[in-house]
Structure 1
Amino acid sequence: MKRNILILLLLSAILPVSSCKKFLEEQSQTDIIPRSASALNEMILGSSGSAMDVGIRFLDDDMVHDNTLVAKGLVYDSYTWQPEIITKSGGSGSMQWTNLYPKILVSNLVLDYAPKVTGTPAEIENVSGQAYLLRAFNYFQLVNFYAKPYTDKLSNPDQDPGVPLMLASGLSFEGKSRNTVAEVYKQILEDLDKGTELMERSGKNTSLYRINHLAGYLLSSRVQLYMGNWEKVIEAATNVLNRKSDLMNLNTWGGADQNNKPIIGTQNQEVVWVYGSPHEAVFPTGQQNEAYQYTLSNDLLSSYETGDLRASIYIKNKRSMKRPIVGIAKVAQAFRISEALLNRAEAHAQLNKLGQTQHGLLALNDLNTLRKKRFTTDSYHDLVSTDADDLLQKCYEEKRREFFGEECHRWFDLRRHGMPSITHFYRESNTLTLKYVLEDHDPAYVLQIPKGVLEKNTKLIPNPAPAPRIGH
């Protein structure tokens, strides 16, 4: 009884109360359980996607303070990489942990109950497939927030602490230690394999609001990319592109129209899955709150070439136009086909750098396939490469131009590309602007596990804490 009450409380925290009542029925006075595959299907939809605190958007080098004086808050803490992003109640670091684990537990609950509910085999396999894919995605997010990157020169994934793997619907962290980074990635890959197999076999979801087999293959290409398994990246990305290769053509897209035709939205033909709350990533236009006093960095803006339509369709007045304003937006993030091309291009470029030179042309072909849809016809030109390092850098730059502000692509890429030093400037007063520096391989590249979680479970090893960061 206690376990089921805790499950109900968990679900109530994630889903509207009316939804909980809708898919949970009282079996008796002492047992509350989901009874059908459709009930599990509604449950998994309610927890779909990976919650992301808005402060995470300000950690990387794509955002810059616009010099408007505004009261300091959580965005300032993230932007200047202060310890407060992990110690304050509701700070960015703690919110990732507290938002993602309940979603994982819903996936576990679905998988625990799937053999016991009514429904056709296809319905049960389909909802189980969704649960596996969502669990993989949420663990991928967690291990990239709270652990060292898999392939860094200073990393040892077989020994580096990752995050605790919880694979059943129990709710307690008590006595649970951190699995290694390698163990977490192994579980992610196993879940992706199971999820995509079940989704392929049971019937493919057609709603873009539900995770599906294409999103599973795309996530597989992303995970393999982070692990440095270049051949497997190519295999997974090709699995996506063989099934869906549509790219939006910005020549026929029209002007920037974030409210009626957002880049991150179901109208975009290259979207395969949309998820998340718009409040994770969108701010009301014109509202003078702290988060709105930041624009895209000049470093990013200057990287767009003449004729690149993304500079006028994705961006206006140095701000992203990819999403609708709050009140209109329905989702915050999206998986897009263009990522499959860019993941595959990087994998080809990495193999080219290893001496397999036949992959160099394949990398350029993927990059140019995307770019043809992003430039005006009269300004487009094929990329060429001078050497292996130049080609790889072109892959990195193209991904930054395409995916700025989406999910955590840039922050996670900075981590796996060597955790370089970043500098942010912040206007402290009318007469003082200070510089804040995230050092090379800074401890702040790995978020801290929330204090409350560490206090309740002494087996969880904390990450090295960054010192308070002082501007100069």
Structure 2
Amino acid sequence: MKRVTFFLLLLLVVLQVSSCKKFLEEQSQTDIIPRSASALNELLMGAAYTGNNGSGTNPAIRFLDDDATHDHFFFKKGDIYYAYTWQPASTSQSRDAGAVQWSVLYPRILTCNVVLDYAPKVTGTTAEIENVTGQAYLLRAFYYFRLINFYAKPYSDKLSNPNLDLGVPLILSSGLSMEGQPRNTVAEVYKQIIDDLTKGIEQLQRNGKNNNIFRINHVAGSLLASRVYMQMGEWQKAIDAATFVLSNKSDLMDLNTWGTPDANTKAIVDSKNPETLWAFGSPNEVIYQGGDDAFLYRLSAELLNSFEDGDLRTSIYIKNSKSNKSPSFPGTYTIGQSFRVSEALLNRAEAYAQLNKLGQTANAQLALNDLNTLRKKRFTPAAYHDLASTGADDLLKKCYDEKRRELFGEEYHRWFDLRRHGMPSITHVFHENESQVLSYVLKDHDPGYIFQIPKAAMDKNSKLIGNPEPEMRIGH
């Protein structure tokens, strides 16, 4: 056990300050090499799962989208201000959100690579080895999915060409250094994500069904696959992946029986929520009412006004115009995010609606069925009514709006969807002082929709080509 613990500590340090290549070159002490599947399992939990090395995450990213608004004047500007006003990375007085994501996600990917490289060399049953490698494949896919949606153009945008657009470097072996690795194309990164998902889902379906809720599993992997296919515009594949999720787990929480809302003891984002497929992430990734300058920001009027009378989410998901999905103070909680069954319904509904818009009209009612299945659990019986649509565009808007109401503040759903839906213009207001309110604009297809590759990474790797930097934004 001491050898494994020492290995974990050493690897965590090395991954943060150096490359895996250097790590492997310096492995002269054979007693720190993992020799069993259980050792790899501990390594994965200690260094690849986000809840266990979540320090360094930047919750300011949550304020990029149109679900956030600045509430009132206060006498400081922190990290949140720079993300909220979409300033270029070079203006940030503290940690740039894009730089933080790069520095956090790549070490986790490198840990997955170590696990996958060592798996053929360790002792353990086939089931034990497939369990750990299945998790590593799915985690690697998840982290590349986040990276490609932070640092590259959307896959299916009208101005995108995934075969030519620059994505992120694919590092698929613990023997590769980040130095000297050019950016792969968006299409190449998505192909790798799909390949990893396919392998991970297959292996965990065989040998990971008994993993606990804090380990990624084949059903959660299929939900991730539905997200990926949605980004790619592969509507039928998104439907198939979401259907697989729902055929394995279809539980929905009923807000009519939820009782008195209390985010500290009965959170929506919670391992005990019956919808939860996978509970993960650090509380540092979530803005809490008592932390930093978070209390200056609330949910936007546009989001709040989109809820209908009788929608129980307005009292259970929201308190004082803020998200009430997670506890008020990080010290009371151990996770920050979760994959939920409701997303599978929402993804499938939109995919049906997209096929309907393409002329496959039999899918329209299927989309409405999925939306209504979810809404029945969100409204009081007296207020509930089945949705109907007036056409293909109206049906798609209903899908977009329902997903926004259900998943706001969770992961980066809204930001990724705004990118996928055409990168529209957004306006944020900031209370500069007690008498002055300034507006900041993210324009249609603005460069601010794509994070800057960190300067530190560019300095170390001459083959990296940076993204266009947006201009300094001046409030008006």
Q: Secondary structure at the match of 2:331?
A: coil
> Which stretches in structure 1 are left out of the alignment for 5+ residues?
16-25
AA at the equivalent of 1:355 = G
Counterpart for residue 127 of structure 1: 132
Are 2:62 and 2:409, in contact at CA under 8 Å, matched by a contact in 1? yes
Match of 1:314 among 308, 313, 317: 317
Counterpart for residue 19 of structure 1: none
Counterpart for residue 37 of structure 1: 37
Q: Which string of whole-angstrom CA distances, capped at 9 and with x for unpartnered residues, describes residues 82-133 of structure 1?
A: 1137865521010000000000001000000011111111000000000000
The separation in 1 between residues aligned to 2:214 and 2:455, in whole angstroms, is 34
Match of 1:299 among 290, 294, 302: 302
Offset of residue 308 of structure 1: 0.4
1:98 aligns with 2:103: yes
AA at the equivalent of 1:49 = T
AA at the equivalent of 1:315 = I
AA at the equivalent of 1:58 = F
Q: Secondary structure at the match of 1:426?
A: strand
The separation in 2 between residues aligned to 1:386 and 1:279, in whole angstroms, is 42
Are 1:174 and 1:456, in contact at CA under 8 Å, matched by a contact in 2? yes
Structure 1-normalised TM-score? 0.93
Q: Which string of whole-angstrom CA distances, capped at 9 and with x for unpartnered residues, describes residues 283-305 of structure 1?
A: 2x445x32221011111000000
Structure 2-normalised TM-score? 0.92
Are 2:7 and 2:34, in contact at CA under 8 Å, matched by a contact in 1? no
The separation in 1 between residues aligned to 2:368 and 2:271, in whole angstroms, is 29
The separation in 1 between residues aligned to 2:452 and 2:279, in whole angstroms, is 28
The separation in 2 between residues aligned to 1:34 and 1:85, in whole angstroms, is 41
Moved more, 422-431 or 382-391: 422-431
Once the two structures are superposed, the pairs formed by residues 364-375 of structure 1 within 5 Å of their partners are 364-375=368-379
Offset of residue 203 of structure 1: 3.5
The separation in 1 between residues aligned to 2:399 and 2:346, in whole angstroms, is 7
Offset of residue 247 of structure 1: 0.4
Offset of residue 375 of structure 1: 0.3
Q: Which string of whole-angstrom CA distances, capped at 9 and with x for unpartnered residues, describes residues 380-417 of structure 1?
A: 00000000000000000000000000000000000000
1:169 aligns with 2:170: no
Counterpart for residue 206 of structure 2: 201
Counterpart for residue 424 of structure 1: 428
Match of 1:439 among 437, 443, 454: 443
The separation in 2 between residues aligned to 1:70 and 1:29, in whole angstroms, is 53
Q: Secondary structure at the match of 1:429?
A: coil
Once the two structures are superposed, the pairs formed by residues 267-416 of structure 1 within 5 Å of their partners are 267-283=272-288, 285-286=289-290, 289-324=292-327, 325-416=329-420
Tell me which stretches of 4 or more aligned residues in structure 1 moved more than 3 Å.
5-10, 12-15, 26-31, 49-52, 84-89
The separation in 1 between residues aligned to 2:90 and 2:83, in whole angstroms, is 6
Offset of residue 9 of structure 1: 4.1
The separation in 1 between residues aligned to 2:410 and 2:13, in whole angstroms, is 28
Are 2:73 and 2:432, in contact at CA under 8 Å, matched by a contact in 1? no
Q: Which string of whole-angstrom CA distances, capped at 9 and with x for unpartnered residues, describes residues 208-262 of structure 1?
A: 1100011100000110011000000010000000011000000001122101100
The separation in 1 between residues aligned to 2:281 and 2:302, in whole angstroms, is 28
Moved more, 211-220 or 76-85: 76-85
1:11 aligns with 2:12: yes
The separation in 2 between residues aligned to 1:156 and 1:257, in whole angstroms, is 46
AA at the equivalent of 2:64 = L
Same amino acid, percent of matched pairs: 64
AA at the equivalent of 1:218 = L
Q: Secondary structure at the match of 2:432?
A: strand
The separation in 2 between residues aligned to 1:27 and 1:352, in whole angstroms, is 57
**Cα gap change, 1:105/1:275 in structure 2, threshold over 3 Å: closer, same or farther?**
same
Counterpart for residue 186 of structure 2: 181
Counterpart for residue 467 of structure 2: 463
Counterpart for residue 23 of structure 1: none
Counterpart for residue 18 of structure 1: none
Q: Secondary structure at the match of 1:425?
A: strand
Offset of residue 170 of structure 1: 2.9
Count of residue correspondences: 456
Are 2:271 and 2:279, in contact at CA under 8 Å, matched by a contact in 1? yes
Offset of residue 320 of structure 1: 0.7
Q: Secondary structure at the match of 1:355?
A: coil
Counterpart for residue 50 of structure 2: 49
The separation in 2 between residues aligned to 1:45 and 1:205, in whole angstroms, is 16
Q: Which string of whole-angstrom CA distances, capped at 9 and with x for unpartnered residues, describes residues 279-336 of structure 1?
A: 11032x445x322210111110000000000010000100111011211111011000
Are 1:44 and 1:110, in contact at CA under 8 Å, matched by a contact in 2? yes
